[in-house]
Amino acid sequence: MSAWTHTPILAAQIADMLITKPEGVYLDATLGLGGHSKIFMARLGPKGRIIGIDKDKKALDMAAAAINDGRLSVFNAGYLDAPQIMARAAVSGFDGALFDLGLSSYQLDDASRGFSFVQNGPLDMRFDNTSGITAADIVNDWPVDKIEEILLKYGEERAAHKIALTIYEARKTARIANTLDLARIVESVLPRSGKTHPATKTFQALRIAVNDELSSVEKLPQMLPKIILPGGRAAVLTFHSAEDRIIKYAFKALADTGAWQLVNKKVIEPSYEEIRANPRARSAKLRVIERL
């Protein structure tokens, strides 16, 4: 179970800003492999607690085993289920909550999950791979104009029209079932140039559509008053400009009510050194807000 490792992004900065009470109760709402929570644990006293939730049962089990600390309680759920999990964990609220909206390295590198365009696997892309539509369902069954729409909206892919048409033509011959099949289709439209794979935006768009991610991000700030205690903080780590835009304006609206304040008015991004050590950090943006 320990075959995968995950390098948490902006880990020290998040811990510094979020862990304000060593004996507090904290929520890691997207636990993944527990990279951030492991660092949080080192800042907590013996009575401190972390509630970790994740849709991915396998990741949840790996995180619990890796952290191996009685102060961690884990629940198989999505981050919007936090109010219900709070009740199940018998806590009145959280002194801090982290929402890391990125994929873990484990999910990216596990070919069987279908997130990777460099390893062959089923075209799945579901965070919870026990239910819901897959990326294969979208590329094979959705109308071509809908495929173009999600490539534009969620991937900001300028070649969306041509890629969608090429997918449509390819699926007439045979069902597009595997990640490398789709990656090759995109490469036929956008030849490789530079370090970024031409299928990056297409795969990102499909993943966001499959998991209805932006709809969840829009609901996240509305949930915060239900779960964050006065004096508590919420940190959101985004990896997509549309996600960051939603959080930026939602946090500003919360601050305008007078009941919340922005901890960082300017978005925090990883340093050049962190990006060199972990290229997957390059698009990360962190925003933190405090309940007064």
- Amino acid at site 132: G
DSSP 111: G
DSSP 239: -
φ, ψ at 266 (rounded to 5°)? -105, 135
Name the strands in the sheet holding 260-262, side by side, starting at the edge strand that comes first in the sequence.
72-76, 49-54, 25-28, 94-100, 228-238, 285-291, 260-262
pLDDT in tens, 2-33: 445 568 999 999 999 999 999 999 999 999 88
State both tokens at 160. 């969306």
Distance CA 125, CA 136 (A): 9
Q: Which CATH class is domain 128-210?
A: mainly alpha
Q: Which residue, chain included where needed, has tokens 């636990």?
A: 31
Cβ(186)–Cβ(199) under 8 Å? yes
Q: Where are the domains of the chain?
A: 11-106+213-291, 128-210
Cβ(95)–Cβ(68) under 8 Å? no
Distance CA 29, CA 99 (A): 5
The dotted CATH code for 11-106+213-291 is 3.40.50.150
Residue 106 has pLDDT above 70, yes or no: no
Distance CA 153, CA 201 (A): 10
Q: What does pTM read for this prediction?
A: 0.88
Report the chain's C-alpha Rg in angstroms: 20
Distance CA 194, CA 91 (A): 50
φ, ψ at 110 (rounded to 5°)? -85, 100
pLDDT in tens, 132-184: 999 999 999 999 999 999 999 999 999 999 999 999 999 999 999 999 999 99
* pLDDT at site 232: 98
State both tokens at 244. 């960051």
